């Protein structure tokens, strides 16, 4: 078998066999196939497409390319959650404690931020002392003991995906739905959870800008999971504005703590409860979604989720006193209020620009080697549909560098639209996707 023939076959729009896909992945990871041939394959797949069978075989081959987490030593049902990425999205730190407090084990292996979306590991590491570099023995022990772990992805999981994603990033082959679906699901399958719930974002701050593209991605990921023997469902959710008020690592942790304490309402809390209920139902704890919502709400209201979050912080050597004193962590030296130039109603935010501005402030990375400033970020005071007056604060910027502040303000030029008449708030959740079924909300 030759890689040349596989590239030619896909270039001509023909379907690849399981053996051909396996040959490509296995030999690319071993270094027997050069990047220029892998790039040619990716471009052929991007242009000609992959059918469902090819997409599933590619996913399984990538999942099998490295270590697969064996969770057979963990008692009970094990669940995982994945978001396709957004701004001010800290649902993991609310959903996971809620679900764990209901008796379902939450095993989260997460990544760092690069681009306009924040990284789960960067956010949780803004808690002083917290360790996300756990051994598999520590990961499984903590999962059994408290039912909740958030750790960094190991280098040995899905090496094929890591190599291919780096290549896609520089060959203009990222925005392809089958390739995105395979990339996401290969890591989820290799991570070992039996229940997977996907939060597929749609809107100007999401990877998928249109609802139809988000729906197609959700359907393909659910289909892959089903064929791999996992229980999978997805919610398609809004990213036309930041999900929470906080954009930036320690700011987002502070907002999470306030929600877990039941001191804050809003879209972030509402969506977190819905995602938690989706996991509870998909995992089989109850067959009724309304009952699942009740269990999730009860976990939050009674303080069980907050207690579980505190247990996780302590187990991973973080400072649990932040629960009582969240404002004490990572304060920035510079605060700047960005105000409205007009009277009216906010009809639109450029969510991508908000995310990029937070990176400029120091909350994210432009390149992998950049250092994160945990205190940097943006606090959004207004949302779409809100009435504003001229001179009223729209958001507050936090940083420790005047030059970074100037750069961020440049990125926020024209980042919102104000209209004269009242306008509708965007829908938070558009639909639920399960195998063979789409349900609108």
Structure tokens at 121: 């590991």
Please identify which of the residues 162, 187, 254, 411 carries the catalytic annotation.
187
Structure tokens at 370: 């950049």
Q: What phi-psi label fits residue 74: left (phi over 0), alpha (psi between -120 and 50 degrees) or beta?
A: beta
Please identify which of the residues 10, 22, 81, 82 carries the catalytic annotation.
82
Cβ-contact 362, 419 below 8 angstroms: no
CA-based end-to-end distance of the chain: 49
Cβ-contact 224, 61 below 8 angstroms: no
Structure tokens at 9: 């076959």
Dump strand ranges (E) for 16-147.
78-83, 105-110
Query: In Å, how far are 52, 106, 110, 194 from 191, measured between CA atoms?
Result: 22, 11, 10, 9
Please identify which of the residues 80, 161, 238, 350 carries the catalytic annotation.
161
In the numeric block, the tokens 């590491």 are attached to 125
Greatest C-alpha distance within the chain:
68
Q: How many helices (H) and strands (E) does the chain have?
A: 16, 14
Query: In Å, how far are 240, 292, 346 from 427, measured between CA atoms?
Result: 10, 21, 15
Q: What does the buried/exposed string (b/e) look like for 53-78 if buried means 16 or more CB atoms within 10 Å of the residue's CB? A: ebbbbbbbbbbbbbeebebeebeebb
Please identify which of the residues 162, 168, 254, 404 carries the catalytic annotation.
168
Cα 251 from Cα 7, distance rounded (Å): 47
Structure tokens at 436: 């063979």
Cα 348 from Cα 302, distance rounded (Å): 36
Structure tokens at 147: 């039912």
Residues 6+ apart with CB under 8 A from 145: 315
User: Is 183 noted as a catalytic residue in this protein?
Assistant: yes
Please identify which of the residues 65, 110, 182, 183 carries the catalytic annotation.
183
User: Is 168 noted as a catalytic residue in this protein?
Assistant: yes
Catalytic residues: 82, 161, 168, 183, 187
């Amino acid at each position: 078998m030759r890689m040349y023939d596989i590239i030619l076959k896909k270039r001509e729009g023909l379907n690849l066999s399981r053996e051909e896909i396996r040959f490509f992945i296995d030999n690319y990871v071993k270094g027997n196939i050069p990047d220029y041939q892998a790039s040619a394959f990716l471009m052929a797949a991007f242009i000609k497409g992959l059918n469902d069978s090819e997409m599933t075989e590619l996913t399984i081959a990538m999942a099998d390319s490295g270590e697969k987490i064996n969770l057979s030593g963990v008692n009970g049902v094990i669940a995982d959650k994945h978001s396709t990425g957004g701004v001010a999205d800290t649902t993991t730190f609310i959903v996971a404690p809620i679900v764990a407090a209901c008796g379902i084990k939450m095993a989260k292996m997460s990544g760092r931020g690069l681009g306009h979306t924040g990284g789960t590991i960067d956010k949780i590491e803004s808690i002083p002392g917290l360790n996300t570099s756990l051994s598999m023995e520590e990961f499984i022990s903590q999962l059994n003991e408290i039912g909740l772990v958030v750790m960094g992805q190991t280098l040995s999981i899905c090496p094929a995906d890591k190599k291919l994603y780096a290549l896609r990033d520089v060959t203009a082959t990222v925005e392809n739905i089958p390739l995105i679906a395979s990339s996401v699901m290969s890591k989820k399958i290799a991570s070992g959870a039996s229940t997977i719930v996907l939060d597929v974002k749609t809107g100007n701050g999401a990877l998928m800008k249109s609802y139809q593209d988000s729906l197609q991605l959700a359907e393909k990921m659910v289909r892959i999971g089903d064929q791999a023997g996992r229980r999978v469902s997805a919610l398609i959710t809004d990213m036309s504005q930041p999900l929470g008020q906080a954009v930036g690592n320690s700011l987002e942790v502070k907002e999470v703590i306030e929600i877990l304490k039941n001191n804050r309402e809003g879209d972030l809390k509402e969506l977190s409860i819905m995602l938690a209920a989706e996991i509870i139902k998909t995992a089989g704890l109850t067959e009724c979604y309304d009952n699942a919502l009740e269990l999730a709400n009860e976990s939050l209201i009674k303080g069980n989720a907050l207690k579980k979050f505190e247990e996780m912080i302590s187990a991973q050597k973080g400072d649990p006193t932040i629960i009582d004193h969240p404002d004490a962590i990572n304060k920035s030296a510079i605060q700047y209020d960005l105000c409205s130039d007009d009277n009216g109603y906010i009809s639109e935010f450029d969510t991508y620009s908000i995310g990029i501005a937070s990176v400029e402030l120091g909350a994210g990375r432009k390149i992998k080697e950049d250092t994160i400033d945990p205190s940097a970020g943006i606090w959004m005071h207004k949302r779409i549909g809100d009435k504003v007056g001229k001179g009223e604060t729209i958001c507050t910027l936090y940083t420790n560098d005047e030059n970074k502040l100037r750069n961020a303000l440049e990125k926020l030029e024209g980042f919102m639209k104000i209209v004269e008449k009242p306008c509708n708030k965007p829908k938070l959740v558009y639909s639920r996707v399960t195998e063979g079924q789409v349900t609108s909300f």
